[in-house]
Structures are given as structure tokens and as C-alpha cells.
């Protein structure tokens, strides 16, 4: 799996971010691509991976594996780990289209 490099369009972080613990929140962890990119932005700004807590409601085993391969020291807290990803990288059985549910679409 490959990830896009330097795709952050905007990152405004406190000047002392490297001294802080960071809670990184995302409702779903599918492939891990966006989470890994967000973690990389934090690391690029001096945050130690061991001080990043990644919290989500639902995760896939593949996404967890990808995150831990890229950042083994990041702590991940998931309310639930579903069975797998589909061939289209959707979490199965998943929550349906979370974006539509969240944004009333």
C-alpha cells in the first residue's frame, strides 16, 4: 500500500506541540492512510509517536496493522474492531456510509 506524500493542505498547531500529548480523533480507521498522514504531520512538528493517542469508533484489522507498521509506538484506542476490509477498502460489516450519517447526507 502506498500513501501520498505531503498532502497536508493546512496544519495550524500550537508552537509547543512537541511538548504535548496529542489526541488524534477519527471516527473510522479503514486502510489507515489518512491517519498515517496525520501522524506524520505531528511527527514532522516534533511530536513523539509515543505521545500520540489515536481514538476511533470502529477499525479494521488491516488499518490497525498499517498504522502500527508505520508508527509502532502510537497508542490506538478503538471502540470496536470489525472483521475486515472489502475489496473496495470499506470496513465490513461497518456502519454504512458514516459520512452521510454524520453530515445528514
Q: Which residues 6+ apart lie within 8 Å of 64 measured at CB?
A: 29, 32, 76, 78, 81
pLDDT tens by residue, 44-90: 999 999 999 999 999 999 999 999 999 999 999 999 999 999 998 88
By the 10 Å C-beta count (0-12 exposed, 13-18 middle, 19+ buried), 72 is classed as: exposed
pLDDT of residue 98: 60
Tracing cell 478503538 back to the chain, one arrives at: 78
Average pLDDT, the chain: 87
How many of the other CB atoms lie within 10 Å of CB of 30?
A: 24
Class for the domain spanning 17-104: alpha beta
Cα separation, 84 vs 97, in Å, equals 16
Contact (CB, 8 A) for 33 and 63:
no
* Domains of the chain by residue range: 17-104
Amino acid at each position: 500500500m502506498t500513501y501520498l506524500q505531503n498532502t497536508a493542505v493546512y496544519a495550524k498547531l500550537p508552537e509547543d506541540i512537541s511538548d504535548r500529548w496529542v489526541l488524534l480523533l477519527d471516527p473510522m480507521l479503514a486502510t489507515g492512510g489518512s491517519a498515517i498522514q496525520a501522524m506524520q504531520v505531528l511527527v514532522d512538528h516534533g511530536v513523539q509517536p509515543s505521545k500520540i493517542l489515536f481514538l476511533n469508533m470502529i477499525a479494521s484489522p488491516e488499518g490497525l496493522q498499517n498504522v502500527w507498521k508505520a508508527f509502532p509506538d502510537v497508542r490506538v484506542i478503538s471502540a470496536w474492531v470489525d472483521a475486515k476490509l472489502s475489496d473496495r477498502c470499506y470496513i465490513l460489516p461497518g456502519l454504512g456510509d458514516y459520512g452521510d450519517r454524520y453530515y445528514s447526507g
